[in-house]
Structure 1
Amino acid sequence: MLFVAGVVALNLYAIALVLLRAAVYRTRLYRPMLWNVWLSVLPILILILGMLLAALVGQIDGRLAPPALVLSGIVWLLLLPNAGYLITELNLSHRDEDDPVPLWYDLILGITLAMSGVVNTVVNVLLVHVFVSLAVFGDEVAAVNRPESWIAVAAVLLLLGFGMYLGRYLRLNSWDVRHPVAFARKAAAHFRIRGNLLACVGFSLTYALFIGLIYVIIAGLVLGTFEALEAVRASA
């Protein structure tokens, strides 16, 4: 519960800093930051609602549970880049040359937004990592440490990095997939430009590795604790 409280508090702190920036320094409220925080949290809510929906329809007809989970998983994966997108707020693009807000304030604001994005992403991936591992490989905590589970995590993080690139440089959003032809044309036009494909690969790998390292630290601690508790319970 302390872990969950910390995640919630970090997001609330980021929101408070955005609001206080406008109130204290009498500058415009940068609404896109608030929108990005909401989008960063949204995949977690979709994931929880998807699990609840699958459980509900599973009680009505067990055959409906897997399709509900798959549909929820697809929506979640499309929205997941929004969680990590907050990392890119570190470019301080919201600042003007004559901005009355001190640089130190915008630095802590940018760092807080970035860290909330990282933490939200870790929570998203961790929930799916645990749920899918237990569902596929068995109900033991050790299932989450199978090589297949970690390969899947790595694949998700690479897709996350690619999605962040599309959002930052092509200004594409998750919901743009509703118009697949326009989506594909814009992406094709972008990658036809010399050097953009290499930049995309570098961006995706760099961000995936960064979030992956943070994930190993946090998930390793959480999963290690559960494994230790299970070992103690088994030996009792």
Structure 2
Amino acid sequence: MAVLVACIAVVLLNIYAIVLVRLRSAVYGVPLYRPMLLNIGLSFVPVLVSLVAVAGLLGLPALLSLTALRPRAAAVAVWVYVVVGAIVWVLLFPNSIYLITELNFSHRRDGDPVPLWYDIVQTLTLTLSGIANAVLSLAVVQTAFLVLVEPNAIGAVPASSWALAAVIIVLGAVGVYLGRYLRFNSWDVRHPVSLLRKLRAHLRQRGKALEAGGFVLTHAVLIALIYVPTYLLGFGALAA
């Protein structure tokens, strides 16, 4: 029940963020800031992908049992599905954390009639929705990992799943840096050579490597401090 309430709260937080963005335009007569709406949608995509992927994983063995595949081939098919789904989700995951960077209030313009207090609440809601999306989708993936790799885990969360979560959080922070400062998107991975060339040129600039390291570290620690206790509470509720 607690897990269901948490999921509903995440959805409501996203809806509230959308409502505030639209009300800003309707109430104060300013242009609708569409990039925020797009970012909210992109932020929620990892949640959908994780839930759909896990649902598919639950039904895949039954589907494969109806085919003529041998058990070994069926097992390979399952793991191919897991690997492909995991790669897609990891590439999309930074979109959730990215909403933290909206706290720079880049949407405000000189002379805006919108009160600062409104933009504070709107942007904070936007940021919290992104963090909530990141926590929920990562929790789904970590739990799926436990079911696949550590099915006998009882009472405590295995260290292997924490290692997985830590790697994903760091990769997410790296993705946010690439998105904010180099303007990369998840789909730019289709051009890895160009991506690496631009990244190398960026990091060769004076102070940029140190800046990137500090950015990734501070963002990763923030997400970890929120995620770890939240997941422990959820794991305890499921185990109860």
Same fold (TM over 0.5): yes
In structure 2, the CA distance between the partners of 1:141 and 1:13, relative to structure 1 (3 Å rule), is farther
Name the SS for the 2:55 alignment partner. helix
Name the SS for the 1:142 alignment partner. coil
State how far apart, in whole Å, the 1-side matches of 2:43 and 2:154 are: 28
Q: Which runs of 5+ in 2 are unaligned?
A: none
State how far apart, in whole Å, the 2-side matches of 1:140 and 1:147 are: 10
**C-alpha displacement at 1:220, in angstroms?**
1.8
Residue in 1 aligned with 2:185? 173
Report percent identity of matched pairs: 44
CA contact (8 A) 2:96 2:131 kept: yes
The answer to whether structure 1 residue 73 and structure 2 residue 86 are counterparts is: yes
Residue in 1 aligned with 2:104? 91
State how far apart, in whole Å, the 2-side matches of 1:130 and 1:54 are: 13
Residue in 2 aligned with 1:23? 26
In structure 2, the CA distance between the partners of 1:141 and 1:33, relative to structure 1 (3 Å rule), is farther
Residue in 1 aligned with 2:16? 13
CA contact (8 A) 2:97 2:130 kept: yes
Equivalent residue in structure 1 for 2:207, among 195, 198, 208:
195
Bigger shift: 32-41 or 50-59?
50-59
Equivalent residue in structure 2 for 1:138, among 119, 137, 151:
151
State how far apart, in whole Å, the 2-side matches of 1:172 and 1:117 are: 18
CA contact (8 A) 1:90 1:111 kept: yes
**C-alpha displacement at 1:54, in angstroms?**
3.6
Deviations 1:43-63 (A, max 9, x none): 111122223334444322523
Aligned length: 227
The answer to whether structure 1 residue 123 and structure 2 residue 165 are counterparts is: no
- Normalising by structure 2, we get a TM-score of 0.90
Deviations 1:110-145 (A, max 9, x none): 1001100111100011111111012101144536x1
Q: Which runs of 5+ in 1 are unaligned?
A: 230-236
- Normalising by structure 1, we get a TM-score of 0.92
Runs of 4+ off more than 4 Å: none
The answer to whether structure 1 residue 215 and structure 2 residue 218 are counterparts is: no
State how far apart, in whole Å, the 1-side matches of 2:109 and 2:159 are: 48
Matched residue type, 1:201? G
State how far apart, in whole Å, the 2-side matches of 1:120 and 1:25 are: 29
Bigger shift: 56-65 or 116-125?
56-65
CA RMSD of aligned residues (A): 1.4
Matched residue type, 1:224? G
CA contact (8 A) 1:54 1:66 kept: no
